[in-house]
Chains A and B, each alone.
Chain A
Amino acid sequence: MSVGTDVIEPRPAVPAVEGGRTRRRWLNWLFVIPAILFQFFWGWYPMVIAIFLSLTNAPIRGAVTFRGIENYVRLASDPLVPMAFRVTLIYGILSIILTFIIPIITAILLMEMPPKTMRVMMILWFLPLSGIASTLFWQYLYNEKFGIFQYIATAVLGLPPQAFLSSERLVLFWLIVPGIIMYGPGLYYIAGLQGIPKSYYEAAEVEGAGFWRKIWTISLPRLRPIISMTLLFSIIGSLQEFTFPDLMTRGGPNGASRTVVMYMFTLLNNGRIGDSTALAVMLFALIMVFVLVFRLVFKSDPDV
């Protein structure tokens, strides 16, 4: 080293005192282990076992024998399987189209209301309703003889009596409609919108931006992470739909509203565990394809 210059030694990575105040590695693991165990027993383990079981005869008792793709071959010849996939795809796509955009628009409009009105509207929108109770309520609304929708269709609009949930052609559409009103990612959007500083809108206003331009250049770009997250969740959720159609229609009429998960449940009840897990693996693959496509489309995030 040259004379007369102060050389700053690189600071040693290890603390000078043995056993000094660095967090120990095992301590880190201690905090992480509960989550890992949970994820293992309720996530990865069932997934791996399901893939394994789908290749066996999967008996309830007795020896498990490996059967190769026999289960898949049997499912391929089952006409109910493509039907269930068709129902799931239509239901999923329809529900994303119909229930995804509307909460965003509603949330944006809510934010434009005076605070007092907004609070009342939010209470109405996010009432903590029991899922099953409101499902039964919707069943009543759709009733072909004395439901209010039938009344509106015949007495108010003067249409011939509608089949609603008994219509093979339209049953999926009628199943989506409650979701438009009840499905609630709106709360996320409102939280996101409230996090946008007011000065952004003020800055845009003094520069001459009107309502739509403010939405387009400030609200939506700022909501983008939330939108992409809820979209992902609703893709996964709607492809796995079970409870609501099961309660409303039991899959009818003639399987026109029987989703893949509902058919899986039927197979399971019939003791066909191998077929059921094989179907589950097929649905898993389908969802993965959707998620991958989603990731590709939403990859370019200008914020990052």
Chain B
Amino acid sequence: MSSVTLENVVKYYYPAVGAADSKPVKGLNNINMRIAEGETVSVVGPSGCGKSTLLKVIAGLEFADEGRVLYNDFDVTKITPQDRGVGMVFQDYALYPTKEGKNNMSYYFEVHHRSAEEKEQRLRETSELMGIGFDMLMGRQVDTLSGGEKQRVGIARAIVREPNVFLMDEPISNLDAKLRERTRTEIRRLLKKFGITTLYVTHDQQEAIFMGDRIAVMRAGSLEQIGTFDELYYAPANLFVATLIGTPPISILPGELAHGTLRAAGQTELALPEQLSGGLPQGSLRLGVRPEGWLVAREPEPGSLAMNVTRIERLFTERAAFAHGDVNGAPVNALVPLDFPDAKMLYLRPDWERAYIFAADAETALHVPGVPELF
């Protein structure tokens, strides 16, 4: 087991033959990252952001064009995947179809000419770790297994060889919702048990939050921010991270700041607290408020934003409701109590303690609430 460090990793991509623009594209743009020993980091981002490429560079299936990849302090940048000792789990399972579950797991031992006793012992240990009923899966042809069962074999195959690093590429995206929930709990349990350094790639933020000790947010080949959920949520590095993390997403309203007053959404004048407006530049800004950051009223009040309500979504299981709508055209979501009556209009005031301010023309965060100190 080892820590993983990426130093200024750059990976170029060459567009398809015959494409109009044949200049290489940066698939990974100067990635710096350190995953501590035994830590799980989930990587989240929209499709095509380079998260799978990042995984492949760490596995050695792709080589970094610039920069270094280190396991502990050992430089593996140029080392082939065969010699890196990683365990990998794939979205489409990638089990060898002509073999039984057991033979899938023993592939590594065959390739490396290990003794039969060692193989048997590791298979037995892994089977015990994987939990109830796993030894039954080992005896079956993989074609006869269901998706969830296949992925259990896939995970077992990755851990049976005691990997230095454990890499998972959207391992549960192919499963149905119910099974996904169960499998992710299962994977989390196993990761905690093994304490293996893990990189978990997903496009689902819920899954990323659930799996990772820390979450890395990627976009267009760049690492936007890496941190715990609270850090990403309360102190996003930029507008992209702020909008990606959180469901329903943060509401963003354009505004003009002049003399301590913010004219938001082109209509209402909001008085900013002294300590907030002091640090901000005058002129155009963007105000970000999360659903729970609105103070909601049913009657107009001075200094409140009028929201056209399109729908109130009542989440009975969560004992809460979300009002969806817009303020002067900008989409807004607000958290309301579950028994909140239906309304055509709502009047919102931002809770300035929980407000985010972003630059108008760049994505820079000018002010974030910061991680609350709860204890």
Nearest to A115 among chain B residues (CB) is B17
Least distance between A216 CB and chain B CB atoms (Å) = 11
CA distance A303 to B141 in the complex (A): 9
CA distance A199 to B55 in the complex (A): 13
Q: Which residues of B contact A213 (CB under 8 A)?
A: 111
Contact, CB under 8 Å: A206 / B107: no
Least distance between B235 CB and chain A CB atoms (Å) = 36
Question: A residues 200-242 with Cβ under 8 Å of B?
Answer: 200, 202-210, 213, 217-218, 221-222
The winner among B81, B84, B143 for most chain A CB atoms within 10 A is: B81
A302 contacts the other chain (Cβ, under 8 Å)? yes
Interface string of B48-75 (1 = CB under 8 A from A): 0000000010011100000000000000
B339 contacts the other chain (Cβ, under 8 Å)? no
Contact, CB under 8 Å: B86 / A303: no
CA distance A67 to B60 in the complex (A): 76
Could you list which residues of chain A lie within 8 angstroms of chain B, going by C-beta atoms? 115-116, 119, 197, 199-200, 202-210, 213, 217-218, 221-222, 302-303
Q: Which residues of A contact B81 (CB under 8 A)?
A: 202, 205-206
Stretch at the interface among B37-45, B87-95, B216-224: B87-95
Contact, CB under 8 Å: A205 / B94: no
B82 contacts the other chain (Cβ, under 8 Å)? yes
CA distance A209 to B143 in the complex (A): 22
Contact of B92 among A197, A208, A218 (CB under 8 A): A197
Instruction: Please judge, given known A-B contacts A203-B88, A206-B86, A208-B112, whether A303 and B97 are in contact too, CB under 8 Å.
Output: yes
Q: List 17 A-B contacts (CB under 8 A).
A: A115-B16, A199-B91, A199-B92, A199-B94, A200-B96, A202-B81, A203-B88, A204-B96, A205-B82, A206-B61, A206-B81, A206-B88, A206-B167, A208-B112, A209-B111, A221-B98, A303-B97
B367 contacts the other chain (Cβ, under 8 Å)? no
Contact, CB under 8 Å: A206 / B87: yes
Least distance between A148 CB and chain B CB atoms (Å) = 33
Q: Which residues of A contact B59 (CB under 8 A)?
A: 202, 206
Q: Which residues of B contact A205 (CB under 8 A)?
A: 60-61, 80-82
Nearest to B59 among chain A residues (CB) is A206
Question: B residues 6-57 with Cβ under 8 Å of A?
Answer: 16-17, 56
Nearest to A303 among chain B residues (CB) is B98
Least distance between A87 CB and chain B CB atoms (Å) = 39
Question: Which secondary structure dominates chain A's binding surface?
Answer: helix
Contact, CB under 8 Å: A208 / B91: no
CA distance A119 to B16 in the complex (A): 12
CA distance A218 to B111 in the complex (A): 13
Q: Which residues of A contact B82 (CB under 8 A)?
A: 205-210
B240 contacts the other chain (Cβ, under 8 Å)? no
Q: Which residues of B contact A221 (CB under 8 A)?
A: 96-98
Question: B residues 93-113 with Cβ under 8 Å of A?
Answer: 94-98, 107-108, 111-112
B150 contacts the other chain (Cβ, under 8 Å)? no
Contact of A208 among B17, B83, B90, B157 (CB under 8 A): B83
CA distance A222 to B96 in the complex (A): 9
The winner among B59, B91, B98 for most chain A CB atoms within 10 A is: B98
Contact, CB under 8 Å: B17 / A207: no
Contact, CB under 8 Å: A197 / B161: no
Q: Which residues of B contact A206 (CB under 8 A)?
A: 59-61, 81-82, 84, 86-88, 167
Nearest to A218 among chain B residues (CB) is B96
Q: Which residues of B contact A218 (CB under 8 A)?
A: 96
Q: Which residues of A contact B111 (CB under 8 A)?
A: 207-209, 213
Nearest to B80 among chain A residues (CB) is A205
Least distance between B81 CB and chain A CB atoms (Å) = 4
Instruction: Please judge, given known A-B contacts A208-B108, A210-B82, A217-B107, whether A302 and B94 are in contact too, CB under 8 Å.
Output: no
Least distance between B219 CB and chain A CB atoms (Å) = 24
Nearest to A304 among chain B residues (CB) is B143
Contact, CB under 8 Å: B161 / A207: yes
Question: B residues 151-169 with Cβ under 8 Å of A?
Answer: 157, 161, 167
Contact, CB under 8 Å: B17 / A119: yes
Contact, CB under 8 Å: B107 / A204: yes
Q: Which residues of B contact A302 (CB under 8 A)?
A: 98
Instruction: Please judge, given known A-B contacts A119-B17, A208-B83, A209-B111, whether A202 and B98 are in contact too, CB under 8 Å.
Output: no
Contact, CB under 8 Å: B94 / A202: yes
Nearest to B84 among chain A residues (CB) is A206
CA distance A207 to B86 in the complex (A): 8
Least distance between B82 CB and chain A CB atoms (Å) = 4
Q: Which residues of B contact A209 (CB under 8 A)?
A: 82, 107, 111
CA distance A239 to B92 in the complex (A): 43
Nearest to A120 among chain B residues (CB) is B17
Nearest to A301 among chain B residues (CB) is B98
